[in-house]
Amino acid sequence: MTISRFTRRAALGVIAAAGLAAPAAAEVDFSGKTIDWVIPFSETGGSAKWANFFAPLLSEELPGNPTVVVKFMPGAGSTKGANWFQDQEHKDGTLLFGTSGSTQFPYLLKDPRVRYEYKDWNPVMASGTGGVAYLNAEDGAKFDGSANMLKDTDFIYGSQGATRLDLVPLLAWQMLGINVEPVFGIKGRGDGRLMFERGEATIDYQTSSGYLGGSADLVAAGTAVPMMTWGSLDANGDIVRDPTFPEIATFKEVCEATDGCETSGEAWDAWKAFFVAGFPVQKLAFLPAGTPQDVIDTYTAAFEAVVARADFPEISSKRVGKYSVYTSDAVQTALTTATDVPDEAEAYVLNWLKEAYGVELK
């Protein structure tokens, strides 16, 4: 299938499913219990901010109002934590696991280090996000809406790895003709931001929650200059401006303004396919294999109640951005969107990884 048909069908499928009601929760009581919400990244990144935002709201809505504690298990770009979760079994409903695009991409690319299977897990909530790339003040002064004046500059970027969510910015910067040297091995995007703050990196990107929670302050202080967002998908599968950052141009716009960058063809189709897999449904919450349906229904109802709060649009826009949250049947549709890319896009990216970084996954 073509990328345009894929993105249109995925976007419409998720949007349509979002309107379905959650099943009624059975009599499950978490009184006096503690829910461990494990995040396979460091405590400084966007996934940490996402989970820490939802955790107290979830506590309020789960029966018995248990304490929800966010714990961190960073390593191997999140595959360490995901492999660990694959081995966990349901005990009493007190284990929740959160993933992001950096967990999805190794799965999509059939990375041999992946020993987890999304189909074994029980998704109870998914949410979209965006991403913002930014420059230091010196290089930002040369940015005019295109990358033409940046092509003679050598940039340093703190990266979790080219097969993780960093695939999206790394491929975008290459398409723009920018020379970006990644320093691999950081445990979360927040660590990349800290490298940028210390002057060890000169270009960075953060998912929306990470940008709102840290990088926006750098912009306000004049030490960072926004370059572009990855954009958002409309109902037709077209890239439009990110609703959380409508004042910042998208990568598509910057590409169109940059000499030699094309918004059609193999590279563009591959970039867009992985953007679709990694951002419109970027973060997911799972219960382990074997979880009884009544517990799944209880979590589903709790997340439905969180999203239904009258103040949710306001508080979420400030902490995690203005993006859709999926529960009930919609979360299963969202998971399918996040864990599927066309064969031609996968083949292009695998070849690009080999040529650009010497990474061979097959």
Residue 139 lies in a domain: yes
- Residue 27 pLDDT grade (very low, low, confident, very high; cuts 50, 70, 90): confident
21 and 117 housed in the same domain: yes
116 and 213 housed in the same domain: no
89 and 110 housed in the same domain: yes
Residue 303 lies in a domain: yes
220 and 285 housed in the same domain: no
pLDDT at residue 6, rounded to an integer: 38
Residue 351 lies in a domain: no
Give tens-digit pLDDT for 95-107: 999 999 889 999 9
205 and 307 housed in the same domain: no
Residue 148 lies in a domain: yes
Give tens-digit pLDDT for 108-147: 999 999 999 999 999 999 999 999 999 999 999 999 999 9
136 and 269 housed in the same domain: yes
pLDDT at residue 362, rounded to an integer: 64
Residue 349 lies in a domain: no
pLDDT at residue 3, rounded to an integer: 38
pLDDT score of 17 more than 50: no
263 and 326 housed in the same domain: no
CB proximity list for 299: less than 8 A, separation 6 or greater: 62, 93, 96, 124, 125, 285, 287
At 157, which CATH number? Answer: 3.40.190.10
Residue 358 lies in a domain: no
Q: Give the residue numbers spanning the domain of 190.
A: 131-277
162 and 270 housed in the same domain: yes
Give tens-digit pLDDT for 323-342: 999 999 899 999 998 999 99
pLDDT at residue 282, rounded to an integer: 87
pLDDT at residue 19, rounded to an integer: 43
Cα–Cα distance for residue pair 37/72, rounded to 1 Å: 8
At 78, which CATH number? Answer: 3.40.190.150
Residue 88 lies in a domain: yes
Last residue of a domain, one of 277, 308, 329: 277
pLDDT at residue 21, rounded to an integer: 44
238 and 156 housed in the same domain: yes
Give tens-digit pLDDT for 269-284: 999 999 999 999 989 9
168 and 221 housed in the same domain: yes
Residue 198 lies in a domain: yes
8 and 108 housed in the same domain: yes
Last residue of a domain, one of 277, 298, 324: 277
Our count of domains for the chain comes to: 2
Give tens-digit pLDDT for 157-205: 999 999 999 999 999 999 999 999 999 989 888 999 999 999 999 999 9
Last residue of a domain, one of 242, 277, 312: 277
- Residue 16 pLDDT grade (very low, low, confident, very high; cuts 50, 70, 90): very low
